Chains A and B, each alone.
Chain A
Amino acid sequence: MSTSVTDPSSSQKWIAGTLVIAYALITIAPLIWIFMTGFKTPPDSISYPPKVVFEPSLEGYVNLFTTRTRLSEAELQALPAPDNFADEIVRNRGMVIVGPSRFGERFLNSVIIGFGSTFLSIFLGTLAAYAFSRFKIPFTDDLMFFILSTRMMPPIAVAIPIFLMYRELGLSDTHLGMILLYTAVNISLAVWLLKGFIDEIPREYEEAALIDGYTRFQAFYKVVLPQAATGIASTAIFCLIFAWNEYAFAVLLTSGTAQTAPPFIPTIIGIGGLDWPAVAAGATVFLLPVMIFTIMLRKHLLRGITFGAVRK
């Protein structure tokens, strides 16, 4: 332990720690509440006072993934015994499962559009970032600023002409349309972050490769890309999270085939009022991957959220 004069005293550390932990607990409480509500029964979820201790149930998750219909007592009696736990839960509410819900499809759309646009933005972004980092391009600063400025437009403002344009081109409510749109939004982040990462790779490595008889393409592919792998991976996760979370374009430009999960989750409605456990279950399934990614990314987080303006 160093005993520098600038080191905080142990009582100071203790007070600071307590305050920060208190704030962290307040921050995490709503997220824990979402998680817990997903395992409540609908009556438990709306009880007063709110129930902290309850008997866990999978009803929320069953309701999230299925569509159900209500039957009369006589009709229920006539049915054969339930053959799995999901059936049993639903029967207890006087209903039967008639098929899967649309949540699965919407979730899959989020995956397809998220990964598609991430791949495309990273592919194009890496090429552009390499060029901006290594070659003398006229007006580099202006071009880089132009790329960044596209991020300042309110999404709704661009949405009007894009809505019209997509209607003309038949891209409304298609996966391709959404992938292209999210790529255009994400590419500014990708170019800015990746340029920072590539700038940090010494030029000497490539120059040595060029002298060894590699072409530019080979030097780029074999020397620069492996060196930039961590940077590319964390940039990719940022692009993925953005596309995953996006709502404004999704709600305006998709309605069926290509609708992603964020506009869908708030529309989950049970019989007789909002089915909060199902909404919470959907939110949990949707938010959990992002939380895991955030924890994985924590070293690069600051860089990512500030477009590389602050590097630790």
Chain B
Amino acid sequence: MTDTPIDKAARATPRRVARVIKGVSDRTIAWIFVAPTIFLLLAINIFPLIWTINLSLTNYRANRVNREVDYIGLRNYERILTDTDIWLSMQATAHFLVWTIVLQVLIGFTLAWLINRKFKGNDLWTTIIVLPMMLSPAVVGNFWTFLYQPQIGLFNYVVSFFSGVDPSSFEMLGSVTLAPWSIVIVDTWMWTPFVMLICLAGLRSIPDYIYEAAEIDRASKWRQFWTITVPMVLPFLMLAVLFRGIENFKMFDLVVQLTGGGPGSITELASINLKREAFEKWRTGYSSAFAIILFVTVFGLASIYVKALNKVKER
């Protein structure tokens, strides 16, 4: 018999303890194994969530601990839904969300389709394309502010090189019209590979014999693309959109570093607005209500979407 540390430990275990361990039923083990995880999530996710709901009904301010706290019912919710600033930040979020998803789906799918032509060295290039996705958004966002500098920045220089526009004539981060696009560009640069990878998995899941059958039936390539490729990749693509949708609805780090919500509040996404209300203006109760509204929105939209996704999968 081999003498592993476990055998040693087993022999060193007092007999009474050993009998107890042996006697532990699978059911008890199951609960012992699951309990710490559930406990941690309850303590650091669910308890705070319930606390947020509670705070959202008060006029509490975290920077004035000694002030008396009053329950004001749903007043915070009322004020948020009629606050133009909040609606502007929701609009900014919607603009960001729609454009990043459209661009990432188009570019990501195209890339995946091209990579699936199986040219030589496609693995290497795929790995290179994937790199930005795993990097720290805050650090990357910070560095893009340098790339976006008028004159000295690489981005402006490259644009002027190809279009002939003077590189100091436009400022991506400082202009009200360009700033919303500057964050869309960086997010697309960073997350297109995510959509690409998922589409690639979808494309690779289509068995060759379907195309062979279509070929025998003399279906044109164009027809094969729309009747085989697209419908079979669609569930994968929808999954990618779900992930990107949830992530970009929560978007904070990248945009805070890039524009900080500016110029003015043109790129102030919901999360950035929330941070300002909660940790700069210290309207804790008010911002808690906003947090709850955001959470319910993501959760609601995601559930509806998952239902649609399941329907597509069933087909």
Contact = CB atoms under 8 A, between A and B. Distances in A.
A97 B30 CA distance: 58
Contact of B139 (A17, A24, A286): A286
Interface stretch (A58-66, A86-94, A292-300): A292-300
B76 interface: no
A6 B215 contact: yes
Contact of A147 (B41, B144, B249): B41
Interface stretch (A28-36, A67-75, A227-235): A28-36
B176 interface: no
Given A135-B29, A137-B34, 18 more contacts: A6-B211, A20-B129, A24-B125, A27-B128, A29-B154, A50-B154, A127-B34, A135-B27, A150-B41, A152-B246, A152-B302, A156-B275, A161-B55, A279-B143, A283-B143, A301-B197, A305-B194, A312-B204
Contacts of B153: 50
Contacts of A78: none
Interface in A127-162: 127-128, 130-132, 135-137, 143, 146-147, 149-150, 152-162
19 contacts: A8-B117, A27-B129, A27-B131, A37-B146, A48-B152, A135-B29, A143-B38, A152-B295, A160-B288, A164-B62, A184-B43, A187-B41, A215-B22, A247-B257, A266-B142, A280-B143, A294-B133, A309-B239, A312-B201
Interface in A213-258: 215-218, 221-222, 241, 244-245, 247-248, 251-252
Contact of B252 (A156, A181, A184, A282): A156
A152 B298 contact: yes
Contacts of B256: 247
Interface in A267-312: 274, 276, 279-280, 282-283, 286-287, 290-291, 293-295, 298, 301-302, 305-306, 309-310, 312
Contact of A135 (B30, B40, B52, B147): B30
A7 B133 CA distance: 30
B115 A294 contact: no
B215 to A, nearest CB: 5
**Interface of chain B, main secondary structure:** helix
B114 interface: yes
Nearest to A312: B201
A4 B216 CA distance: 12
B121 interface: yes
Contact of A310 (B51, B55, B131, B239): B239
Contact of A263 (B27, B118, B138): B138
A14 B211 CA distance: 21
Nearest to A27: B129
Contacts of B239: 306, 309-310
A298 B127 contact: yes
A172 to B, nearest CB: 12
Nearest to B157: A50
A247 B136 contact: yes
Given A28-B131, A309-B239, A244 B136 contact: yes
Contacts of B250: 153-155
A103 B136 CA distance: 16
Contacts of A53: none
B194 A20 contact: no
B189 interface: yes
B37 A215 contact: no
Nearest to B272: A156
Nearest to A110: B136
A241 B131 CA distance: 12
B227 interface: no
A183 B135 contact: no
B230 to A, nearest CB: 16
B13 to A, nearest CB: 10
Interface in A81-126: 124-125
B215 A5 contact: yes
B262 interface: no
A50 B117 CA distance: 37
A191 interface: yes
A128 B139 contact: no
Nearest to A46: B152
B198 interface: yes
Interface string B34-55: 1011101101111111011001
A254 B139 CA distance: 17
